[in-house]
Amino acid sequence: MKKNHFMKSIVNIFLACVALLVVSCGGKEKKHYASPCDSLCEVYKLKSVTHLADIKDGDSAIFKAPNNKCYLVVSYKTETKDGQKDDAKVSATANPTEDCDKFTGTDRKAARTSAANAYTLLYKNISSFIKSLPGDDEMGKTHIPDIKIDSNSKRADEEQKNVHIKRSLIYAIALQADRDYRIIIGDSSDISKAEFFNITISGLPGKKSASYDKLSKSRQAFKDFFGINNCKRGNAFIFVTPIEIEFVGSLFFDKYGFDNKSDKGLKEFRSKTYWEIHPVFKIKYL
């Protein structure tokens, strides 16, 4: 099956599930938040899992999360590169000698695998945060000095900030080739109105890095919550009932993506900017 047809079918499943959820819950409320598992709309006759890794490609399931809520999720195998220039591949099976959390890319490695040593700005939601950002052309075309994409490229002055977003919703997660976990978030559970943005649980730097402990703890907590294993080739997961979160992370501009006009996420959940929050080092599941 061609990739565009496959993605179209996945999105059609997503939209059909959302429509079914609205109808089965009375059709009056557009907020498709998760609920206690025993009260999730009974129309879904799907298996329940506590680990996303147990969902087969193309399957749907009810994900019973550690916060005692359930989420309707669709899994599919990623078929394209993540927009980075690195050719590293995620192993199909676990290798006992392999450090499966180690960042394997090179593009702006120094910035992508470190937390900003800076103050933290608080925003109530994604929309208010995005309005505060410099424009993409300002960062990608006219920035002085030019932002380099080599592995030693550190944070620009505009990236030396941490942000705390009080509320957003996870729509999708996917393991990238360099072992970053891409997370697509939005500001509304109504997909027709949501504004999307990319955040990232980073692959880990060397253990001597000042950010190693912070990033290692946040990465393990993320994997534990979702029940995923990055030693295996990753699936992407779309959440029909998005996961409400509060989180903290550092600003990052995807200069490589800007230069190469790379996709900013899945077509139907695409950010309007090459800005990201990368890495994320704290998530609270609401």
Distance CA 98, CA 63 (A): 28
Mean per-residue pLDDT of the chain: 81
Residues 37-55, mean pLDDT to the nearest whole number: 76
pLDDT, tens digit (0-9, with 9 covering 90-100), for 62-120: 999 999 899 999 987 765 444 444 334 444 444 555 688 999 999 999 999 999 999 99
What proportion of the chain, given as a percentage, has pLDDT over 90?
57
Q: What is the pTM of this model?
A: 0.83
Q: Which residue's entry shows tokens 């910035």?
A: 111
pLDDT at 267: 67
CB 57, CB 92: distance < 8 Å: no
- pLDDT band for 33, please (50, 70, 90 cuts): low
Q: What is the pLDDT of residue 98?
A: 67
| 130-143: pLDDT as tens digits | 999 999 999 999 99
Q: How confident is the model at residue 280 (pLDDT cuts 50, 70, 90)?
A: very high
The span from the CA of 261 to the CA of 259, in Å, is 6
Residue 117 has phi, psi (to 5 degrees) of -90, 80
Residues 150-190 pLDDT 10s: 999 999 999 999 999 999 999 999 988 899 999 999 998 88
Sequence letter at residue 68: N
| 179, two tokens | 């072992």
Q: Which residue has the higher pLDDT, 35 or 15?
A: 35
* pLDDT above 70 (res 261): yes
How many DSSP H helices and E strands does the chain contain?
6, 10
Residue 269 has pLDDT above 70, yes or no: yes
What average pLDDT does this structure show over 195-217?
95
> What count of other Cβ atoms lies within 10 Å of the Cβ of residue 157?
7
Residue 248: φ, ψ to 5°: -135, 140
Element (H, E) at 213: helix 212-226
pLDDT of residue 236: 87
Q: How is the chain split into domains, by residue range?
A: 3-80+88-285
* Phi, psi angles (nearest 5°) of residue 198: -105, 130
Helix (H) or strand (E) holding 175: strand 162-175
Q: Has residue 16 got a pLDDT over 50?
A: no
pLDDT average, residue stretch 230-252: 86
